[in-house]
Amino acid sequence: MENQYAYSKIIAGTMGWGSWGKGHSQAEMARLISDCTEFGITTFDHADIYGNYTNEAEFGKAFRESGIDREKIQLITKCGIQKEAVGRGNRIKHYNYSEEYILWSAEQSLKHLQTEYLDLLLLHRPSPLMHPDPIARAINKLKNQGKIKSFGVSNFTASHIAMIESSIPVSANQVEFSLTSPGVMYDGTLDDCITGGRMAMSWSPLGIFFKENNPQTARIAEVIAALSKKYESSADQLLLAWILKHPAKVFPVVGTATVNRIKDAMSATKLQLELEDWFLLLKASQGHEVP
């Protein structure tokens, strides 16, 4: 359904580039964009809410400064979450998937990113009040106007997608997936990507491995220490290779804003884990062998 060859196998996640992370200046962000493309990472993942609705505009200015041809990169963004933020007038965090809001939000993203089209627009999280018909009307208008190339979702279950697809095809699903958070392998989400021909993307692909010290991460660290020597690879690369081996052909969205780690992430695409090593890592994550 989705032309997955249109995207780089490692996707640069921009959430931490601005005020929610590194706080890069425009010049630093422009350099980071150039570094990513130099390493072969040409797809950039956004959401309107990142940086409290500031990241897209900062990236747009930095991209213009970089001088890179728009046709050489791919831009993904998300809409639907309404946060309490300056200029929003929201009393409470909520979701909005009305036709009018989707159209307005897409227009805002286009303006902020300084582009005439989005390669992929995602609905950010499922709302209990969403209905497929207004979503379909908005997406069809945006496609017919040439403002988006493809439409997908993020954090949706297979049943959510089935409901949306009663009115419009869904070409991609971006979900949390990592060695420390493998639930989508078991709840039908990745199965749905395979059977539906959907592009699967993983946010937080390194999981909590570098963030928490607990029995799960300690078991994984022990296995990774041995495999790092065997494959002459870093922990980052092994964690990404574990995801990349899944038959859903998952695209990791790597959120680091550090150049060397971005370069290492792209190298992970060349690392082929042996079958039993993949299961060694899964056993370490779960704390037991597969049934």
Q: How confident is the model at residue 257 (pLDDT cuts 50, 70, 90)?
A: confident
Residues 10-36 have a mean pLDDT of: 95
Q: Give the model's pLDDT for residue 258.
A: 84
Question: Looking at residue 164, which CATH number applies to its domain?
Answer: 3.20.20.100
Domain that holds residue 105: 4-211+244-271
- Candidates 50, 53, 117, 186; catalytic one: 50
pLDDT classification of 263: cutoffs 50, 70, 90: confident
Over the chain, what is the mean pLDDT? Answer: 96
Q: Is residue 7 flagged as an active site residue?
A: no
For 135-142, the CB contacts below 8 A with 24+ separation are 135/97, 135/99, 135/102, 135/164, 135/167, 135/168, 136/164, 136/167, 136/168, 137/99, 138/99, 138/100, 138/102, 138/103, 138/106, 139/102, 139/168, 140/168, 141/103, 142/102, 142/103, 142/106
Residue 88's pLDDT is 86
- Give residue 4's pLDDT band: very low, low, confident or very high (50, 70, 90): confident
Q: Is residue 261 part of a domain?
A: yes
Structural domain contains residue 18 = yes
How confident is the model at residue 240, as a pLDDT?
A: 98
With vertex at residue 49, the alpha carbon angle to CA 23 and CA 265, rounded to the nearest 5 degrees, is 60
Residue 260 has pLDDT above 90, yes or no: no
Q: What is the mean pLDDT of residues 266-289?
A: 97
Over residues 38-59, the mean pLDDT reads 96
pLDDT given at position 86: 80
pLDDT in tens, 179-203: 999 999 999 999 999 999 999 999 9
The total domain count for the chain is 1
Q: Is the pLDDT of residue 42 over 80?
A: yes
- Identify the band that residue 245 occupies on the pLDDT scale cut at 50, 70 and 90: very high
pLDDT on residue 212:
96
Domain membership of residue 183 (yes or no) is yes
Q: With 80 as the cut, is the pLDDT of residue 62 above it?
A: yes
Structural domain contains residue 227: no
Q: Assess if residue 99 is contained within a domain.
A: yes
pLDDT of residue 87: 81
Is the separation of the CB atoms in 202 and 176 below 8 Å? yes
Q: Is residue 178 part of a domain?
A: yes
